[in-house]
């Protein structure tokens, strides 16, 4: 059966670590960097569980700073 | 399947609209203002309305809206955005003219401008960010602040005997004959963001079609002023704000 596979690219320097994408993701893909910060001192978002992403764009829709690019395809 | 097989230009389903430029927005992390800026840029870009649009920015946290969305803007004095938008739309009737205002701007110092513009049926769209507080100046009470809500100027909570009742602007504007579309939306979930986008599109279409005044209230959070995390502020909004400011269309003619 064809299965949706997704991936996101976070603009790490634009991200403010607000956590809203982490909360919005239905598949538990995202997390905030626990230690690493960007140039402005924010713990930016990243794919902690990349294999779980379905490319639904929920994270990108709620992101207040438009930091997230979403990619989606089907695996046959 | 490797990540590199997924991240290819042809598989891109969502990215930042280019009308939202690369300048970092000054908003606090998680602020609703950012989501609405993004929606405005997305709509104008997808519909090809960027060259037709003239925005009027407020005094409040959104005072720098013109730095982020690459269209023509005019910066209004505090609360006067609907008056300025009136002049712009009358001089250039084929333009898409909208204001972007907070609750302090629109429902306190600018209440008169808001009501009279809508009562005259000016062909403008008003985007109203209601976060029930003066965010920019440090979290003072606004007319829209909920009863019992703690702010810098109501440290023990808003009281009717001292501060009066929260002001529901959308209900007021919906009663005016000049308004054609009044709706209340939010941007706290993916589904809400999609609905808010459709509402703003409709309001913009009304401005261009000359149908009267449209008001899109976005029930919003100010997590810094409310002293919560962004996620907590969303939950608090759903629990408390939606009771006084219920989501949905109030008028659509
Ligand atoms: C004539 C005038 N009076 C008062 C102020 C101070 N002031 C700046 S922003 C603001 C209120 C902002 O609240 P709101 O419109 O709700 O915007 P928010 O920051 O919450 O988005 C006030 C009272 C001002 N700049 N000019
Ligand atoms: S696209 Fe969907 S599944 Fe993938 S990280 Fe974003 S919210 Fe999660
Ligand atoms: S003070 Fe409130 S409204 Fe202003 S940017 Fe911060 S969270 Fe947003
Ligand atoms: Mg406000």
Shortest Cα distance, chain B CAs vs residue A29, angstroms? 14
Beta bridge partners of B102: B129
CA B193–ligand 1 middle distance (angstroms): 26
Residue in B106, B130, B135, B227 to alter for ligand 3 test, most ligand atoms within 8 A of Cβ: B135
The domains of chain B are located at: 27-252
User: pLDDT of chain B along its 253 residues, tens only?
Assistant: 899 999 999 999 999 999 999 999 999 999 999 999 999 999 999 999 999 999 999 999 999 999 999 999 999 999 999 999 999 999 999 999 999 999 999 999 999 999 999 999 999 999 999 999 999 999 999 999 999 999 999 999 999 999 999 999 999 999 999 999 999 999 999 999 999 999 999 999 999 999 999 999 999 999 999 999 999 999 999 999 999 999 999 999 9
Q: How far is CA B79 from CA A54, B200, B201, in A?
A: 44, 21, 24
CA A21–ligand 1 middle distance (angstroms): 29
Question: Do A68 and B14 count as a contact with CB atoms less than 8 A apart?
Answer: yes
* Homologous superfamily in CATH for domain B27-252: Thiamin diphosphate (ThDP)-binding fold, Pyr/PP domains (3.40.50.970)
> E strands of chain B, at which residues?
12-14, 53-57, 72-75, 96-102, 125-130, 179-186, 213-219, 248-252
| Ligand nearest to the CA of residue B57, numbered in listed order | 1
ipTM of the complex, rounded to two decimals: 0.96
CATH topology of domain A3-75: Alpha-Beta Plaits (3.30.70)
- What span, in angstroms and rounded, lies between the C-alpha atoms of B78 and B109? 7
Mutate to test the interface with B, among A31, A42, A49, A64 (most CBs of B within 10 A): A64
CA B119–ligand 3 middle distance (angstroms): 30
| Ligand nearest to the CA of residue A22, numbered in listed order | 2
């Amino acid at each position: 059966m064809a299965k949706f596979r997704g991936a996101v690219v976070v603009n790490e320097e634009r991200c403010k670590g607000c956590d809203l994408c982490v909360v919005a993701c239905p598949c538990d893909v995202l997390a905030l960097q626990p230690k690493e910060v960007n140039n402005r001192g924010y713990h930016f978002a990243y794919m902690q569980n990349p294999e779980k992403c379905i490319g639904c764009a929920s994270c990108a829709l709620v992101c207040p700073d438009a930091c997230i690019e979403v990619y989606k395809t089907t695996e046959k | 399947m490797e990540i590199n097989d997924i991240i290819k230009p042809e598989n891109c389903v969502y990215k930042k609209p280019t009308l939202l430029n690369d300048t970092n927005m000054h908003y606090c992390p998680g602020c609703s203002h950012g989501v609405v800026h993004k929606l405005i840029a997305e709509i104008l870009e997808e519909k090809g309305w960027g060259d037709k649009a003239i925005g009027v920015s407020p005094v409040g946290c959104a005072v720098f809206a013109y730095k982020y969305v690459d269209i023509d803007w005019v910066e209004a004095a505090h609360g006067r955005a609907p008056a300025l938008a009136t002049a712009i739309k009358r001089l250039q009737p084929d333009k898409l003219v909208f204001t972007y205002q907070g609750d302090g701007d629109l429902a306190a110092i600018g209440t008169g401008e808001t009501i009279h513009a809508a009562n005259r049926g000016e062909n403008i769209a008003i985007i109203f960010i209601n976060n029930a507080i003066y965010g920019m100046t440090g979290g003072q009470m606004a007319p829209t602040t909920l009863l019992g809500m703690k702010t810098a100027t109501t440290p023990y909570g808003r009281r009717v005997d001292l501060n009066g009742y929260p002001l529901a602007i959308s209900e007021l504007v919906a009663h005016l004959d000049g308004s054609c579309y009044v709706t209340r939306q939010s941007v706290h979930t993916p589904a809400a963001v999609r609905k808010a986008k459709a509402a703003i599109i409709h309001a913009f279409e009304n401005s261009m079609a000359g149908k009267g005044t449209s008001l899109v209230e976005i029930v919003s959070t100010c997590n810094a002023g409310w002293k919560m995390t962004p996620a907590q502020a969303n939950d608090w909004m759903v629990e408390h704000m939606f009771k006084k400011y219920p989501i949905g269309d109030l008028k659509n003619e």
